[in-house]
Amino acid sequence: MKELGKRIVTAAIGIPLAIFLFLQGGILFSLGILIIIAFGLHEFYSMAENKGHHPMKRASIVISLIVGIIFYLTVSNVLEFELIYTILAPTLVGTYLITYGLYKKGISAITDISISIGGIMYITFPLLCLIAIREFNNLTTTEIDFGYFVLTLFITIWLCDSAAYFIGRVIGKHKLFPRHSPKKSWEGAIAGFLFGAAGFVGLTAWLNPSFGLLNNILVGVVITIFCQLGDLIESHFKRDAEVKDSSNFFPGHGGFLDRFDGVIYISPIVLIILFLIFK
């Protein structure tokens, strides 16, 4: 099957499942995010192993899932933790991995422990922010439907990626960042920005009209700029590891990091904006 055919088949299966989880929210959505975290970390650490490093893969994934479960129970108001514990979570995770490294044979105390912690900072905590965005109605009083908001966020990223890919292939002449992603062009990036921002503004005006026009434009611009930066960052990692895709889990689409690199990068930024708007 040709590459485009694989992409279409994978999308036909994955998109309905994703929409269901976005709208369902709760434990099913959060479970989906934890699965993405686990596989994303596995791919990241596998790329590091491809470079000859030995990150603490299992320990990092396990501690990430434990933190993720506690985080979900907190934002869904099942558990009540003070803000200070949320702030201390990255420090505690880092301290655990550094201590665990004392008993782990065959690793570099500096390099491999740093890669282990770096994977969690790059993947785990940003994606936990996406859980907080979906459960934002539990954190504040607002009329916004955050199921529709997350759906709109992902559609925006899909529109941005698709426009950048197809229009870039047709008219792209000026390289965006050839050192890390030689196929991306400024023409494609601008097309992705315009289509993505317009999609977010239009869908949010329809599905969440109380969000406000200025807020709508602000978030749309932020998403379409930073999701493309997230794509470039993941391309940087892949080029350093000398791999085309983070994995082949999704036929025609690559791995988990290939599919979710944009949302990984934008989720903390969007969550901060939401707190500034509604808190």
Domain locations in the chain as residue ranges: 26-134, 142-279
pLDDT tens for each residue of 57-81? 999 999 999 999 989 988 888 777 6
User: Poorest-confidence range of 153-157, 216-220, 248-252?
Assistant: 248-252
Q: Specify the pLDDT at position 82.
A: 62
| Position 84 pLDDT exceeds 60 | no
Q: Specify the pLDDT at position 88.
A: 75
What whole-number percentage of the chain has pLDDT above 90? 52
SS (H, E, C) the chain: CCHHHHHHHHHHHHHHHHHHHHHHCHHHHHHHHHHHHHHHHHHHHHHHHHCCCCCCHHHHHHHHHHHHHHHHHHHCCCCCCCHHHHHHHHHHHHHHHHHHHCCCCCCCCCHHHHHHHHHHHHHHHHHHHHHHHHCHHHCCCCCCCHHHHHHHHHHHHHHHHHHHHHHHHHHCCCEEECCCEEEEEHHHHHHHHHHHHHHHHHHHHHHCHHHCHHHHHHHHHHHHHHHHHHHHHHHHHHHHHCCCCCCCCECCCECHHHHHHHHHHHHHHHHHHHHHHHC
| Position 276 pLDDT exceeds 60 | yes
Mean pLDDT score of the chain: 87
What whole-number percentage of the chain has pLDDT above 70? 94
| Position 10 pLDDT exceeds 80 | no
